[in-house]
Amino acid sequence: MNNNKRENQHLCFQIAQAYSLATVVFVVTMITISISFGFLALSLYQKSTNEDIQQVKSFQPLFEILDKIIEEFDNLTQMSENITSPYDGWFFDLPREIEDYEITYHPVDCFLDINHLDFKLISKQLDLSSDLEVPDYFFAESQLAAIPDEQREFFSIYMLPNFNTCDPSRLQEFMKSWNFEESVIQDVVQKINYYRTEDYWKTKKLLIDEEKYKNMNTQFDRNSKDLLYILFDSQGTINLNFVEEKLFQHAFKICHPKGNAGLFWPKIAGKHDSESTIDRLQDIFNSQDYKRYEKMFSIDSKLFKITIKKNEHQLETIVRKYQNTRGLVKFHFFRNMTKIIEPEENN
């Protein structure tokens, strides 16, 4: 009986050893697999990280060129002219190439402001489809694509609110997006409604003139007074030096429904054909009546898209030209609107 007991104990010991060995093998195997997966994950991470680093390095020169462009604009702050033309002047003299990088400057405020004008008004004038889905606040590029090509070319999504023509409800949404306090938003809207009549488009002058516009600054705190001039405007921005005929006709009809755009376009076209700069609105419109058109048209541009490109690498940014509280010309680069265009987006 003792022999049987010893045999049973020996068998249990062998089974225990077998289980222990299997456990050890299993643990070692799992550790080996974990380490292998760890090395694989690390390898993939390093590859991804290296690719990201290489991508950042490939785009870094674009930002270096942008810094050089900003320096070019900083050198323009002493200018006094409020004229922007493709034919001469400060805009004409901007560098179109730096270190083999192609640079283009495109006025993006020489259009109808689809995001801040009364949408019912411009929809009626351009006969936009009633099926068009209108966003609560602003059109993004993807939503703008829903408008047919022959109408979409008249609009810009980059423009800033004009206190003389903007829809107050859309202005409120714009100011909220820039984190203005609600009390400031309401004060600005109340002042606009006080200055403007219901038929503000039909008036023969700016209801919010330069002096009243400056007084709007009392609504902003001392540290943000320049925002009045960076983020807003009180005059028209469709620059007659850049405008095309169909856009001019539509904008004219919004500004003066009973007027005849055909009386004025030949003067504009003549200037374009001769590559001559229009430097006064009264040279195009009647000298007694030109103030009617200041709410829509201009001889200056204040908002530009800058594109820097070399091969497949491309950067875009938006810059605002403005006069600060002391009347000095300044340029504000919207860093939050700077973006890299991936190669596939260029195709």
pLDDT in tens, the chain (347 residues): 444 444 444 444 444 444 454 554 454 455 555 555 555 454 544 444 444 444 556 689 999 999 999 999 988 877 767 899 999 889 999 999 999 999 999 999 999 999 999 888 888 888 887 777 777 778 888 888 888 888 889 999 999 999 999 999 999 999 999 999 999 999 999 999 999 987 888 888 999 999 999 888 877 776 677 888 999 999 999 999 999 999 999 999 998 888 899 999 999 999 999 999 999 999 999 877 889 999 999 999 999 999 999 988 899 999 999 988 788 888 999 988 888 887 665 55
Q: Please report, for residues 49, 53, 67, 200, 314, the alpha-carbon distance to residue 60 in angstroms, rounded to integers and kept in the order given.
A: 16, 10, 11, 48, 11
pLDDT for 115 equals 92
> 251: which 2 tokens?
């904008």
313: CB partners within 8 A, 6+ apart: 58, 59, 61, 62, 343
Please tell me the pTM assigned to this model. Answer: 0.80
Query: What pLDDT, on a 0 to 100 scale, did the predictor assign at position 295?
Result: 93
Task: Round to whole Å and give the CA distance between 280 and 83.
Answer: 9
Beta carbons within 10 angstroms of residue 77's beta carbon: 11
Print the SS3 string covering the chain.
CHHHHHHHHHHHHHHHHHHHHHHHHHHHHHHHHHHHHHHHHHHHHHHHHHHHHHHHHHHHHHHHHHHHHHHHHHCCCCCCCCCCCCCCHHHHCCCCEECCEEEEEEECCCCEECCCCCHHHHHHHHCCCCCCCCCCCCCCHHHHCCCCHHHHCCEECCCCCECCCCCHHHHHHHHHHCCCCHHHHHHHHHHHHHHCCCCHHHCCCCCCCHHHHHHHHHHCCHHHCCHHHHHCECCCCEECCCCCHHHHHHHHHHHCCCCCHHHCHHHHHHHHHCCCCCCCHHHCCCCCCHHHHCCCEECCCCEEEEEEEECCEEEEEEEEEEECCCCCEEEEEEEEEEEEECHHHHC
pLDDT at 50: 45
Strand partners for 107 = 304
* pLDDT given for residue 299 in this prediction: 95
